[in-house]
Structure 1
Amino acid sequence: MTKVLASRQSGTKFPLDGYDITKVPDETPVELFNTAPLLHDYQGTRIVRLSRTLVLKGGELARPCEAEIMKLVHAKTSIPVPKVHRVLKIKTQDTFFGCQCYFVMDFIEGDTIQDCWEDLSQAQREDVVSQVAAMFIALQSAQVPQQPGPVDCQLCKAKGCWFSDIGGGPFRDITAMEDWFNRKLEICQSFKQAPDAVPPFCFDKLVLTHQDIALRNLILDPEGKVWLIDWGDAGIYPEGFEYAAIAARRWTAVLFTDMLFERIPKYLEMEWQLSQIMYALTTGQWID
């Protein structure tokens, strides 16, 4: 039998239950980062539960730009996303991806779609997929600044499956990002890892992009609403990046992905182009 974490047990007493988070000193949540009931701990990211309604996210990969894009999504779309209440202790020195921080956000009650998919009826699955499709379209349609990369940060690198393990940028503008991707294509072609016929990248439009719409990052709450979490790789990126990222992970959730692809626009050319630079994003990521 799987042990239920204390952070998910109804009888657990949390350290900031009954407190107004706006009046708690910055030091208090930071001190609780290592002692509050653990909700998630994976690859440099840790989330603990501060109260019945709030969590604290921190670690090597927690950045203020993640909190900022969640605020932007909340302001520009109707996508259900945890509300960010505070960003704490921003660090800009000696950080691999640009910045680090802690931030307090809402706790979303429910199960990940990854955990409950097999137990859903066909009608429930159809409803979940329709909600996710609406999220995809809302992200593509939102009016956003045409500055590529993480939001509101000139120091943070772009992260995600199209930027390798070491990230990319920061990019001063869309041309700089285009040049970066075309250099990756040149590397692949020079090492015979991509056909010479692959055309150079030409980015026309930037859109809000989550970059990791996967079953583990979708929470189904008790009312049947789907929430999109984990915005650590999100930013403003070329149209088509979102579709290509979902397509690249199709093997992890074939039925869900195929159902989703019936409901969203396809960007097959961008998907194909990005698939051709994988050598430069993996084995050859250190080649300049």
Structure 2
Amino acid sequence: MSQNNFKLVECPRDAMQGLHEFVPTVIKAEYLNLLLQVGFDTLDFGSFVSPKAIPQMADTAEVLAQLDLSNTATKLLAIVANLRGVEDAVKHTAIDYLGFPFSISETFQQRNTNSSISQSLNTVEEMLSLCAKSNKKAVVYLSMGFGNPYGDEWNYEIVEKWADVLVGKGVEILSLADTVGVSTPKKIEAILPKLISRFNKTEIGIHLHSNPAERLEKIQAAYHSGVKRIDSALKGFGGCPMAADDLTGNIATEDVISFLHDNGENLNLDMDKWNEAMALSGKIFG
């Protein structure tokens, strides 16, 4: 299987956004510039959200200005949470993708984006229209896609219903997101193959959070479910500051890389640059 069949999305934005100490813009840019040389399909590099909500991402536009895109095929993705964020993000020609967290849990949609599910659907429609005008693509995350800690109703039918609605609106990339680490191999294998076969014209990805002990079994379940787009973060840093649990971070990219290598996938990554990024990460994450 060739590289363009497998899309690895590296998520330094997700890794950094919950850090309490502000990471200087120049260090963020240095880290991202290394990651841009590794050969990932996409870099989830920043977000255009309220600096009150996520202070760490207040300098996304400044960071972007310091990125060297002259020698990389990696595409840039920025997260937005409302129409204002969409309008800010589409002004930047260097950004390829806008990502929107569409929660299928009403409680979490309110907590995360300060809007209801139905308001968020309007935002997605506006985003699709602005993306089309500015030559960008929308990535919509089905957030709380494996359940939620709030007691909001969750089942496969709800996941499928919202996937159906979003694809019907014109969303071409959907990523099933486990914001709080409640996914299990069993749930992954029950949900993903159905979504992939039902929405076979849509790119279906996965964005998992996990504690370290369960990472590998989740990667394996996603792989065997036929997923070709995987979000992860170096060393598994990060997680969602709006759904706090210190142990539940991102899936570690090095685990994804070694799993895929062991399964004969050729990822064409520059592992020297990767190791440099691993070394530099200590400056940011301590």
TM above 0.5, yes or no, is: no
> TM-score per shorter chain, which class?
under 0.3
The structure with the larger Rg is 1
TM-score (norm 1): 0.26
